[in-house]
Amino acid sequence: MAYLQSPGLQSSPRTPSHIQLMAESNCTQATEFSLTGFSENLVTQVTLFLMLLLTYVATILGNLGMIVLIRASPQLHSPMYYFLGNLAFVDFCSSTIITPKMLVDFVSEKGIAYAGCVAQVFLFDLFGITECFLLATMAYDRYVAICHPLVYPLVVSPKCCFQLVTGSYIMGLTNGIGQTISMSSLSFCGSSVIDLFFCDISSLISLSTSNTTLSHIILRSLAISLGVSSSLAILVSYMAIISTILSIRSADGKRKAFSTCASHLTTVSIFYGTALFMYLKPSSDRKIASVFYTVVTPMLNPFIYSLRNKEVRSTLRRAMNKLYIGEGQCLS
């Protein structure tokens, strides 16, 4: 007689989702991640350590110096420099999130705890999008100054400046929270090696052993809604600026108008250029692009503005002269 199995005892077919759930329930969640960093060659490591250390010192001095100079100089108390001071603060924070840990990894184990990785993802994505919107805000400021100079004091008022900067930080906070939620939904039961020198959400999604559909949706939605919108704001502003500059008849007038936004345009080109290179290039080139995006770019911004901006240069020169004269009086 054939064995008859009762309906209640029949085994249901195991779908891939069932297998995945069983695997996740039996796995041990990673509590620490390993970072591959750079070359294991001692000479290369020492060279990179010294270069990155000098770069970070220059980043601290440049950005904090820019903030102090803007706050201490009444002639720099204008919307453009208010935005620039916030950009310097964001650059300082962005570099501090990544570089000190990277320098420590050169002389110790290249690892980071899960909680530290979550914090790095949150802060890196917070300040990354904040910088995108600050650059968009600065582009809008240049647009009003060049295209509508007569109403500039009314449109770009102190209240408007505060609201624009606050909105930039809110957009960054939204991105940071979203990416942190994305990471919290991931399971890491297999390899815990991140082929980079910091925790990046896209690398973590690739490393995860769980269903990454939600994480991909969050990542793409935030990238489109926040990253693309801020980029479009910059693009539209500069299309209007270029149109206005081309309509100016005198060559000297065109040169002066373009010089007011040359530093910002240079900063935007470097920031978005390295960001696109970082996320579009294969992993073999991604580390180099990541260094420029996370370490070099925050260092360059204050120097770009100080070297290309006459007001910043003259203010810095006066501050140095006062310091020199003060020291001379003390010595005498």
Q: So what's the pLDDT on residue 303?
A: 83
Residue 322 pLDDT class (50, 70, 90 cuts): low
The reply to whether 263 falls in a domain is yes
Q: So what's the pLDDT on residue 155?
A: 93
Q: So what's the pLDDT on residue 283?
A: 58
The reply to whether 228 falls in a domain is yes
Tokens standing for 231? 């980029």
Q: So what's the pLDDT on residue 269?
A: 87
The DSSP bridge partners found for residue 32 are 113
Residue 294 is classified by DSSP as I
What domain range is 283 assigned to? 30-331
Greater pLDDT, 46 or 16:
46
Q: What is the largest CA-CA distance in the chain?
A: 115
Percent of the chain topping pLDDT 90: 33
Residue 260 near residue 146 (C-beta atoms within 8 A):
yes
Q: What is the pLDDT of residues 136-175, one digit of tens each?
A: 999 999 999 999 999 999 999 999 999 999 999 999 999 9
The CATH number that applies at residue 85 is 1.20.1070.10
Q: Is the dihedral of CA 230, 236, 242, 245 positive or negative?
A: negative
Is the pLDDT score of 15 beyond 70?
no
Mean pLDDT to the nearest integer, 213-231 = 87
The reply to whether 83 falls in a domain is yes
- Report the 10 Å Cβ neighbour count for 188: 22
Rg over CA atoms, the chain: 25
If DSSP codes are grouped into helix, strand and coil, which group holds residue 264? helix
The reply to whether 214 falls in a domain is yes
The reply to whether 268 falls in a domain is yes
Is the pLDDT score of 332 beyond 50?
no
Establish how many alpha carbons lie within 13 A of residue 324's alpha carbon, considering only the half-sphere containing its beta carbon: 6
Establish how many alpha carbons lie within 13 A of residue 299's alpha carbon, considering only the half-sphere containing its beta carbon: 16
Question: What's the total number of domains in the chain?
Answer: 1
d(CA 267, CA 238): 14
If DSSP codes are grouped into helix, strand and coil, which group holds residue 285? helix
The reply to whether 12 falls in a domain is no
The reply to whether 16 falls in a domain is no
Q: What is the pLDDT of residues 268-288, one digit of tens each?
A: 888 888 887 776 665 556 777
The reply to whether 10 falls in a domain is no
Q: What is the pLDDT of residues 91-120, one digit of tens each?
A: 999 999 999 988 888 887 778 888 888 999
